[in-house]
Amino acid sequence: MIKSITVKNYLDESIEFILTNPEKSGFYVKEVEGLGPPIANINLTEVSTNDGGIYNSARAISRNIVFTLGFLQQQENEELEQERRTIEDVRHLSYKYFPIKKKVTIIVETDNRIVETYGFVEKNEPIIFSQRQTTQVSILCPDPFFYSQDQMVTLFLAVVPMFEFPFSNESLTENMLIMGEIWPRETRSIYYEGDAEVGVVMHIFARSEASNVTIFNPETNQRMTINNDRLRQLTGSGIVNGDHIIISTVRGDKHITLIRRGISYNILNALNRDAYWFQLSKGDNIFAYTAEYGLSWIDFRIENRIVYAGV
């Protein structure tokens, strides 16, 4: 069951439509279209000598979300310091939160998940000369899928315990006791439960010099290598202490950036030509990383969101 819908405009101003408490926002949601799975275009080639056709490809088309909203007159609330709003005031609020041609973010909260997407307002058509004033808002979403609001984070580190109680340091001047050590885990499995493939954002943190860092899938041998010689040509040196490398394989936002001493560098050309831009598919996805040297001085993590076909 849908609990609430939040709309955030391009100025980062938001309004929440709580379905069980429409008086709070001044809008009641009569209907919302376009929250289910997107429509797919199936490309077939007809064959003159055989029945039917041959499958070529398929793609999900852009999503169209249409809100039908009613306006409520609000009473003055001294406790909330809220002034009385007329029907006209509420109608004008719809122009503010659904500005024509502008980008808006739509967040839907249900009993089981919170998902979001974005789109551009195509039209906002109020029906003014009616006993019950309403408006219909059409939003075109270039991305046909919804995304989880929170990021999934997979750390390639493991804390190894080095002591058990009771313990004693056995010295008053030296630190003899090792409380624990952090060991890199060079292989991890990411279980993904989304409805469609999704890209990831990979973070590499260097605590010392390293060379030719490679991220790969041990099962398929698909890999992505940061070539040390090319990196030196682009930035003046290979990977050094304090470097932070961000690799995004998200469709529409693919990039690789090096942050060094507060300065960002585009190091896309430092990748080997056989680089594979990883995508998570439903189920287990195996990732591993290695380096020519300096592997123990590298911290690695992967972030991803979950893609949903519909609310």
Task: Please calculate the CA angle 195-200-201 and round it to the nearest 5 degrees.
Answer: 150
Predicted pLDDT of residue 84: 75
Given the structure tokens 């260097």, which residue do they identify?
206
Residues of the chain with CATH 2.40.30.200: 2-146
| Average per-residue pLDDT for the chain | 87
Predicted pLDDT of residue 171: 62
CATH of 152-308, one of 1.10.10.10, 2.60.40.2310, 2.60.120.880, 3.30.70.240: 2.60.120.880
* 66-110 per-position pLDDT tens digit: 999 999 987 655 444 456 788 899 999 999 999 999 999 999 999
CB atoms within 10 A of CB 246: 16
Residues of the chain with CATH 2.60.120.880: 152-308
* 205-235 per-position pLDDT tens digit: 998 999 999 999 988 889 999 999 999 999 9
CA distance 249 to 199: 5
CA dihedral 96, 101, 105, 107 (to 10 degrees): 80
* 14-63 per-position pLDDT tens digit: 999 999 999 888 899 999 999 999 999 999 998 888 888 888 999 899 99
Q: What is the mean pLDDT of residues 285-294?
A: 90
Predicted pLDDT of residue 183: 47
CA distance 279 to 202: 12
Query: Does the structure show a pLDDT above 50 at 152?
Result: yes
Domain boundaries 2-146, CATH class:
mainly beta
- pTM, full prediction: 0.78
CA distance 265 to 257: 6
